[in-house]
């Protein structure tokens, strides 16, 4: 049993010291500290790490952090939704998003051509610029080949970008596949449809990509899942681990609750009932805003991995892996 201890502030307190203290505070702080330790364990155990996140997290300032984690070799597989990939491309080409308010007059925003994601604001103009860009990208893809698996197409788009803070760019550079099973669920999908009307032999193959994520790990691999938010990105990752024997490590972070019966709210214990997470696995479920909880848990984990000299070796391994492909 761990005793409750009072939190004390000290000048220049590090994030890692704060998160260490969470073990003794109680409630969700305990789960957050545990989540960080599970992430450290999955990396030290050389597990294949599936990092999943929803598009709203790319809308926020977490986008560059995800790109940095890919560069550091934390994630081996990315699963996400298409909105985040659209916005990653927008930001890579200079579009700015603004901080607004949850209480903004949405009718007034609509009249001004501004879209709201929580308290974040995106101009219609940014989407118009994206649509002009994606037409040119699709033409380049079509000239190269006619039939693409989704992850292969996303890698090719990443190679077209030049932004160290881009998820697509870092994933392509470090040979980390990005899977997006609902590729048509956004502006990108609409333009894929339009392009295919003029080019009927152009095919983006979601089913083939399901095979690619299944072969991203094997039954013998140790597997870890870091699922930020819910929806199809979370389920696609843990379904692929189920078909390969289940994950040894799992960290879920979400604002959804298990009482809804939804995939978004399903916790790591519920995943054990399906075999998606192994019975004896190390797990943690943190209920709270991921824009707050994930940086705390992840920075604590990065500090520990760096102190153990593991981050540099992880990076070198990725460079070697890229050189051998």
Please give, one letter per residue, the 3-state secondary structure of 113-176: CEEEECCEEEEHHHHHHHHHHHHHHHHHHHHHCCEEEHHHHHHHHHHHCCCCCCHHHHHHHCCC
What pLDDT was estimated at residue 259?
87
Active site residue 234: no
What pLDDT was estimated at residue 325?
55
- Residues 298 and 39: beta-carbon distance below 8 Å: yes
What pLDDT was estimated at residue 317?
60
What pLDDT was estimated at residue 147?
98
Percent of the chain exceeding pLDDT 90 equals: 87
Residue 44 confidence (pLDDT) above 90? yes
Residue 101 confidence (pLDDT) above 60? yes
User: Once rounded to an integer, what is the mean pLDDT over residues 176-189?
Assistant: 96
Considering only CA atoms, which of 256, 200, 269 is closest in space to residue 229? 256
Residue 232 confidence (pLDDT) above 60? yes
The residue among 106 and 324 whose pLDDT is bigger is: 106
Strands 120-123 and 114-117: antiparallel
Within 10 Å of residue 314's Cβ, how many Cβ atoms? 15
Considering only CA atoms, which of 86, 84, 66 is closest in space to residue 75? 66
Q: Is 78 left (phi over 0), alpha (psi -120 to 50) or beta?
A: beta
User: Once rounded to an integer, what is the mean pLDDT over residues 276-298?
Assistant: 95
What pLDDT was estimated at residue 324?
61
What pLDDT was estimated at residue 264?
86
What pLDDT was estimated at residue 260?
87
Residue 203 confidence (pLDDT) above 80? yes
Strand order in the sheet with 98-99: 98-99, 120-123, 114-117
Residue 227 confidence (pLDDT) above 60? yes
Confidence of residue 231 (pLDDT cuts 50, 70, 90): confident
Mean of pLDDT over the chain: 94
Residue 45 confidence (pLDDT) above 60? yes
| Phi, then psi, of 247 in degrees rounded to 5 | -90, 145
Residue 323 confidence (pLDDT) above 80? no
Considering only CA atoms, which of 157, 219, 216 is closest in space to residue 183? 157
What pLDDT was estimated at residue 312?
63
**pTM recorded for the entire structure:** 0.94
Residue 104 confidence (pLDDT) above 70? yes
Active-site option among 91, 272, 276, 278: 276
User: Once rounded to an integer, what is the mean pLDDT over residues 149-173?
Assistant: 97
Within 10 Å of residue 82's Cβ, how many Cβ atoms? 21
Q: Rounded to the nearest 5 degrees, what angle is found at the Cα of 68, between the Cα atoms of 319 and 57?
A: 140
Q: How far apart are CA 212 and CA 220, in angstroms?
A: 17
Q: How far apart are CA 250 and CA 269, in angstroms?
A: 10
Instruction: Give the burial string for 101-117 (b: 16+ CB within 10 Å, else e).
Output: eeeeeeeeeeeeebbeb
């Amino acid at each position: 049993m761990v005793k409750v201890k009072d939190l004390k502030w000290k000048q220049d307190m590090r994030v890692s010291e704060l998160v260490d203290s969470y073990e003794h505070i109680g409630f969700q702080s305990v789960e957050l500290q545990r989540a960080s330790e599970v992430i450290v364990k999955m990396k030290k155990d050389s597990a294949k790490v599936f990092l999943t996140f929803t598009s709203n997290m790319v809308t926020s300032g977490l986008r560059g952090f995800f790109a940095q984690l890919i560069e550091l070799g934390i994630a081996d597989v990315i699963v996400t939704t298409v909105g985040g990939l659209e916005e990653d491309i927008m930001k890579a080409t200079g579009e700015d998003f603004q901080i607004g308010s949850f209480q903004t007059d949405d009718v007034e925003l609509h009249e001004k051509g501004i879209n709201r994601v929580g308290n974040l604001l995106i101009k219609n103009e940014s989407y118009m610029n994206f649509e002009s860009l994606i037409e040119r990208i699709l033409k380049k893809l079509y000239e190269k080949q006619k039939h693409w698996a989704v992850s292969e197409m996303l890698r090719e788009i990443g190679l077209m970008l030049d932004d160290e803070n881009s998820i697509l760019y870092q994933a392509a550079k470090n040979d980390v596949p990005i899977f997006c099973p609902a590729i048509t669920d956004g502006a990108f999908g609409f333009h894929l449809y339009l392009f295919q009307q003029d080019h009927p032999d152009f095919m983006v193959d979601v089913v083939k990509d399901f095979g690619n994520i299944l072969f991203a790990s094997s039954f013998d691999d140790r597997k870890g899942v870091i699922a930020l938010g819910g929806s199809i990105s979370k389920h696609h990752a843990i379904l692929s681990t189920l078909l390969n024997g289940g994950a040894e490590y799992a960290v879920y972070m979400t604002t959804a609750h298990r009482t809804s019966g939804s995939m978004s709210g399903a916790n790591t214990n519920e995943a054990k009932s399906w075999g998606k997470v192994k019975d004896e696995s190390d797990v943690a479920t943190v209920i709270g805003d991921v824009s707050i909880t994930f940086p705390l848990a992840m920075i604590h984990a990065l500090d520990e991995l760096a102190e153990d000299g593991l981050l540099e070796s992880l990076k070198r391994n990725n460079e070697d892996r890229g050189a051998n492909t």
